[in-house]
Chain A
């Protein structure tokens, strides 16, 4: 590729911008390796003795060895990480599987108008999570329940224990359901634009060779829309992984995700900066990795979302 030569001022601007964009993140990374004494008292420089103690404290409930600096493991970030991973992975997987089939049906069988997906995506994008929270909070706690006196309710209560009716609120599935619903329109819409590009003749050729509809879908279409799947997966995972509000309203003690614990610890009077930044860093790592490896897909997904409405 040919690059134009530019005067040094442009490079200075470029470097300043990079510094501004990444600075706060680097700062958090540096602080997560500092002891609280160094964060509060020490100079803001980069000269310090790095320690992984903060990470150990944050994950104390899932570590297999005893910690010397800690008498009692009060923070349960490890369990929260497991919850976060379960919820994010399952909801991403479900969204992709359901979204794929729906997008294929929309494109190939001309089911409903082609604009349906883009219009729904737009409408869902409009609804703030806080607004969705209101009815979902009521529904998940009251209506979407199995009575404890019914057959299934009794079985669930016998297996998992607890009192009262069996409700969606407080379970992993309750949170997963809402994430899948939130992300589906966008995923369908983005996959649809990829499926349209798969040439029909290819599918027909496969059909002539004796492939059934499922074989056509899994062996011909799916491999061709891999880039679209990757973009959709990243967007879905990111939302499920980062989301705080709905998760906080719908989870109970056992199903809290990491963002909830971070917010809870931030509202305490004495913030343990080191530990909380270590947790924040752990939460930020998956999105950072995605960005570094798939920035092109992410940018194209973002641009498409804006340009096509």
Chain B
């Protein structure tokens, strides 16, 4: 126990506290933090009026919302369609987790190749049909980055919602079938509402993860062209290591952490509410029988 606590405090809690402290200072990595000048809220205020930081905030939010929305729609849709006991499902599930397991750097590398204007698979295919190539990582960079992330993470939502679907009470669905509900009605009125708790948690989890994406985008576009794909995580790491402004990077991190904290707390609250509701339901059933 003791070693675990020591390591977590030494390498997680202390650094995070250190960062909050550093965000009020003109801190750079070549000096000790106590030697740096105290600047109060200056870092936060400068950032607030910094157009580049705002731009990157907008890019991050756009990316996260688009990614989670499309992954939810595709993932849940596929799960609803494939919720049958057919041969080959386990193979699909195994192969589906591959994109999540391999290194993000490698995912970025594969997609950068496929998006390449002349060499890439997509434009070669388009050309063989006599169509013009698309400037994937140029003006459409944000969209291309979103597509790559959807490829990598839709399976996550698919697997979770499939597990949720298969644990639904069969009796409710059977009853609806007997009452003559079409499969569409079954989905809208029974399956989706019953899956909702899992779906909300999954969506929030993906949303949190979407704010952390960095390597895939770094390899594909390096944040460019311009600032069009420079998400917050990328900007933070750049500010810290390239521009060596740790104070500013720390302030940025705190802004990001506030967003993530809100998401996490709401996720925790939702799971707790759902657990309580489920417990109450179970008690009711027990009393009735």
Task: Please say whether chains A and B are actual partners in one complex.
Answer: yes
In the bound complex, do residue A129 and residue B212 qualify as a contact, i.e. CB atoms below 8 Å apart? yes
A24's nearest neighbour on chain B, judged by CB, is: B110
**Interface set, chain B 119-135, CB cutoff 8 A to A:** 119, 121, 124-125
Complex Cα–Cα for A141 and B18 (A): 14
- Given A133-B240, A138-B27, A244-B215, A22 and B95 contact (CB-CB distance below 8 Å): yes
- Given A4-B84, A122-B268, A137-B241, A185 and B8 contact (CB-CB distance below 8 Å): yes
**Interface set, chain A 82-110, CB cutoff 8 A to B:** 98-99, 101-102, 105-106
In angstroms, how far is the closest chain A Cβ from the Cβ of B116?
8
Candidate in A134, A138, A143, A302 with the most chain B CB atoms within 10 angstroms: A134
Q: Which residue in A4, A10, A259, A307 is a CB contact (below 8 Å) of B215?
A: A259
Query: Is A233 part of the contact surface with B, judged by Cβ < 8 Å?
Result: no
Q: Which residue in A111, A262, A305 is a CB contact (below 8 Å) of B219?
A: A262
Contacts of A249 in B (CB 8 A): 237, 240-241
A40's nearest neighbour on chain B, judged by CB, is: B119
Complex Cα–Cα for A136 and B89 (A): 43
Query: Is B143 part of the contact surface with A, judged by Cβ < 8 Å?
Result: no
Contacts of B82 in A (CB 8 A): 10, 13-14
In the bound complex, do residue B233 and residue A184 qualify as a contact, i.e. CB atoms below 8 Å apart? no
In the bound complex, do residue B101 and residue A131 qualify as a contact, i.e. CB atoms below 8 Å apart? no
In the bound complex, do residue A130 and residue B214 qualify as a contact, i.e. CB atoms below 8 Å apart? yes
Interface size class of B (residues with CB under 8 A): 35 or more
Query: Is B93 part of the contact surface with A, judged by Cβ < 8 Å?
Result: yes
Q: Which residue in A10, A105, A288 is a CB contact (below 8 Å) of B86?
A: A10
Query: Is A225 part of the contact surface with B, judged by Cβ < 8 Å?
Result: no
Candidate in A129, A298, A306 with the most chain B CB atoms within 10 angstroms: A306
Query: Is B111 part of the contact surface with A, judged by Cβ < 8 Å?
Result: yes
Query: Is A46 part of the contact surface with B, judged by Cβ < 8 Å?
Result: no
Q: Which residue in B30, B237, B246 is a CB contact (below 8 Å) of A130?
A: B237
In the bound complex, do residue B29 and residue A130 qualify as a contact, i.e. CB atoms below 8 Å apart? no
> Which residues of B approach A to under 8 Å, CB–CB?
1, 3-5, 7-8, 10-12, 14-16, 18-19, 22, 27, 29-33, 78, 81-82, 84-89, 91-99, 101-106, 108-114, 118-119, 121, 124-125, 151, 155-156, 159-160, 163, 198, 201-202, 205, 208, 211-212, 214-215, 218-219, 222, 232-234, 236-237, 240-241, 246, 249-250, 253, 256-257, 260-261, 263-264, 267-268, 271
Interface string of A161-199 (1 = CB under 8 A from B): 000000000000000011011101100100000000000
Contacts of A309 in B (CB 8 A): 201, 267-268, 271
Query: Is A51 part of the contact surface with B, judged by Cβ < 8 Å?
Result: no
Query: Interface segment, A68-76, A205-213, A289-297?
Result: A289-297
Could you write out 14 A-B pairs with CB less than 8 Å apart? A18-B91, A21-B95, A22-B98, A27-B113, A126-B208, A126-B260, A133-B236, A137-B240, A142-B33, A181-B8, A182-B11, A245-B214, A262-B219, A263-B218
Query: Interface segment, A57-65, A148-156, A272-280?
Result: A272-280
In the bound complex, do residue B151 and residue A24 qualify as a contact, i.e. CB atoms below 8 Å apart? yes
A307's nearest neighbour on chain B, judged by CB, is: B198
In the bound complex, do residue B208 and residue A125 qualify as a contact, i.e. CB atoms below 8 Å apart? yes
Contacts of A49 in B (CB 8 A): none
Q: Which residue in B86, B212, B240 is a CB contact (below 8 Å) of A134?
A: B240
Contacts of B102 in A (CB 8 A): 25, 242, 283-284, 287-288
In the bound complex, do residue B12 and residue A188 qualify as a contact, i.e. CB atoms below 8 Å apart? no
In angstroms, how far is the closest chain A Cβ from the Cβ of B103?
4
Contacts of A306 in B (CB 8 A): 160, 198, 201-202, 205
Contacts of B5 in A (CB 8 A): 102
Q: Which residue in B19, B97, B103, B264 is a CB contact (below 8 Å) of A131?
A: B19
Contacts of B241 in A (CB 8 A): 133, 137, 248-249
Complex Cα–Cα for A10 and B81 (A): 8
A106's nearest neighbour on chain B, judged by CB, is: B1
Contacts of B106 in A (CB 8 A): 28, 262, 280, 283-284
Known A27-B121, A242-B103; further 8 A-B contacts with Cβ < 8 A: A134-B19, A139-B14, A181-B8, A244-B215, A299-B163, A302-B159, A307-B201, A308-B271
In the bound complex, do residue B103 and residue A3 qualify as a contact, i.e. CB atoms below 8 Å apart? no
Query: Is A241 part of the contact surface with B, judged by Cβ < 8 Å?
Result: yes
Complex Cα–Cα for A241 and B102 (A): 9
In the bound complex, do residue B159 and residue A131 qualify as a contact, i.e. CB atoms below 8 Å apart? no
Complex Cα–Cα for A137 and B28 (A): 10
In the bound complex, do residue A3 and residue B214 qualify as a contact, i.e. CB atoms below 8 Å apart? no
Complex Cα–Cα for A106 and B160 (A): 28
Q: Give 4 nearest A-B pairs by CB, closest first.
A: A181-B11, A102-B4, A242-B103, A135-B15
Query: Is A218 part of the contact surface with B, judged by Cβ < 8 Å?
Result: no
In angstroms, how far is the closest chain A Cβ from the Cβ of B34?
10
Q: Which residue in B104, B113, B125, B264 is a CB contact (below 8 Å) of A126?
A: B264
Complex Cα–Cα for A24 and B120 (A): 12
- Given A21-B96, A130-B212, A298 and B111 contact (CB-CB distance below 8 Å): no
In the bound complex, do residue A132 and residue B110 qualify as a contact, i.e. CB atoms below 8 Å apart? no
A280's nearest neighbour on chain B, judged by CB, is: B106
Query: Is A123 part of the contact surface with B, judged by Cβ < 8 Å?
Result: yes
In angstroms, how far is the closest chain B Cβ from the Cβ of A218?
17
A100's nearest neighbour on chain B, judged by CB, is: B4
Q: Which residue in A4, A27, A188 is a CB contact (below 8 Å) of B114?
A: A27
